[in-house]
Structure 1
Amino acid sequence: MIHAPCALMNGSLPMAENLRLPWADLPPPAVAEEEPTATPARRTPARRGRRPLSSWPKSSEPAPWKGWHLLVHGPDAAMDAFVAQASGPGLIPWPFDAERVEEDVFALAIGASGKGPGRSGLSVEGCRILARQFREAAEVRHARLALRSGAACPLDFHHLVPVPQRILELGATHPDARAWLRTHWGIAEAPVQVSLLPRLKAGRRLPRDHRAAVYGFFTRNGAPAPVVRRLEEHFPTLTFRLSERSLA
């Protein structure tokens, strides 16, 4: 079994944010407090157990993931048009180059190999095996995502605010492509875990022949305010209200 070098394991891959590993955003370790000068009175030992999430020290940096609710309401005809346009696979159709993935991971592995005290790193052959494993995993993921077609996602940002072909051809990691997404979407990646929330309502009585829909989703490192502004321009008879969800 080939083990990834430190730069790959800690989630700090410079190649692309979508290769960031899930443990990269774990809460920081607790900081040891200074011992008091006076000896406190002995107390009955407390029951030992797992600390609640609220006891983790707060990070000074903003959380990378944010949850959102998007409320949409208006006349039935306009809602029908919006629902039809919003439905799609929920993906950005970036071009996929398996050889480029393997080459990039190999270069990263070679660069990270041997760095750090007491670490010998991977051999050249080990780096090649690791890069091949990443390529195979990327090919499997790409094939699985390619099967998502039709209306798998009820709120497809690419259907609502399409990414131009010239931007798609640059690739997901190109600075100009990411700059375009941040300008027009407010985020550099497609939202995840998008769902229609039928139990949530508009919070007010709607006129006859009007209805509401509430969508829930998550984004990383940004807010999709530009998409909402574009929707308000394109569907002037509908009302859009974006609100942040608590992740507690």
Structure 2
Amino acid sequence: MTENLRLPWAELPPTRQGGDAPADTTRRPPGRRGRRPLSSWPKPAGPAPWQWWHLLVHGPDAAMDAFGAEVAGPGVIPWPFDAERVEEDMFALAIGHDGPARGRAGMSVEGCRILARQFRAAAEARHARMTLRPAGACPLDFHRLMPVPRHILALGATHPDARAWLQRHWGIAEAPRQVSHLPGRRAGRRLPRGHRAMVYGFFTRGGNPVPVVRRAEEHYPLLAFRLTERSLA
């Protein structure tokens, strides 16, 4: 049941430092006297780390205008949202396998139900915020470049087949985060008259977005694309 559970904060982008890198959220354990052995320090956990990318696009002005208009979108994948399923999955996760009397954290059944309802409310609020994003909020919407088919969307964001489709066609299993124009960035060489360049920056997690860039190259033959991985150090 919990395989379709998606946390309300799962879509939150990394916090930038200096405009390029996500903040280091690893917290050191409380200080104490003496040298702390390495084995006692917390080890990184959770999903794959974020990666920062630059995508350079350049070509004739008319083709660049068409590209910019066609790839701008809300920047989200329109997965279906079932608030009741979210509440049920959260209750199942909270109650765990400790029997009907107590949940995973020693909460009562009623406490687990309250937690599930609160989680549902948070998920509904997040979904409402995402659906209210303007149509052009994201200047490089991967769903506009390579739309996710309806039968894949119907599976849900966490379904293995849906994630496999995204990995195959996008190179990543989630929509990129913090997609933005990077003004002042250049093509690195002089362009012909009537040509211009645009650089997009975005974060991804767990993969390489080469497949969707290859799709853009096929769909926009008058434009040149160059994807580069940027250091987060």
Please tell me the TM-score bracket, short chain as reference.
0.7 to 0.9
1:26, distance to aligned residue in structure 2 (A)? 3.0
- The aligned counterpart of 1:232 is 217
- The aligned counterpart of 2:141 is 156
d(CA) in 1 for partners of 2:42, 2:56: 33
Structure 2 letter corresponding to 1:225? V
Q: Structure 1 residue aligned with 2:198, among 200, 210, 213?
A: 213
d(CA) in 1 for partners of 2:131, 2:47: 33
- SS state at 1:194 partner: strand
- The aligned counterpart of 2:32 is none
Give a deviation string over 1:101-135, Cα, whole Å, max 9, x none.
00011111111668xxxx86111111111110110
Decide which structure has the larger Cα Rg and report it.
1
Q: 1:165–1:68: structure 2 CA closer, same or farther, 3 Å change rule?
A: same
d(CA) in 2 for partners of 1:71, 1:63: 25
- After TM superposition, the score normalised by the length of structure 1 is 0.76
**Correspondence 1:180 to 2:165:** yes
- The aligned counterpart of 1:15 is 5
Structure 2 letter corresponding to 1:81? A
Aligned pairs (5 A) from 1:23-102: 26=26, 32=37, 64-102=49-87
Q: 1:212–1:96: structure 2 CA closer, same or farther, 3 Å change rule?
A: same
Q: Structure 1 residue aligned with 2:124, among 135, 139, 142?
A: 139
Structure 2 letter corresponding to 1:231? A
8 Å CA contact retained: 1:28, 1:59: no
1:243, distance to aligned residue in structure 2 (A)? 0.6
How many residue pairs end up in the alignment? 211
8 Å CA contact retained: 1:27, 1:59: no
d(CA) in 1 for partners of 2:207, 2:36: 29
Taking CA–CA contacts closer than 8 Å with sequence separation of 6 or more, which of the two structures ends up with the larger relative contact order? 2
d(CA) in 2 for partners of 1:94, 1:62: 20
- The aligned counterpart of 1:130 is 115
4+ runs of 1 displaced by more than 2 Å?
13-23, 25-31, 56-63
8 Å CA contact retained: 2:4, 2:159: no
8 Å CA contact retained: 2:4, 2:158: no
1:77, distance to aligned residue in structure 2 (A)? 1.3
Structure 2 letter corresponding to 1:209? G
d(CA) in 2 for partners of 1:220, 1:241: 19
Q: 1:19–1:145: structure 2 CA closer, same or farther, 3 Å change rule?
A: closer
Stretches of structure 1 that go unaligned for 5 or more consecutive residues are 1-12, 35-55
- SS state at 2:204 partner: strand
Structure 2 letter corresponding to 1:205? R
d(CA) in 1 for partners of 2:170, 2:37: 42
Aligned pairs (5 A) from 1:98-117: 98-111=83-96
Stretches of structure 2 that go unaligned for 5 or more consecutive residues are 15-22, 30-34
Give a deviation string over 1:141-169, Cα, whole Å, max 9, x none.
11111111221110000011000011111
8 Å CA contact retained: 2:5, 2:86: no
Identity level (%): 70
1:64, distance to aligned residue in structure 2 (A)? 1.6
- SS state at 1:177 partner: helix
Structure 2 letter corresponding to 1:242? L
d(CA) in 1 for partners of 2:97, 2:8: 19
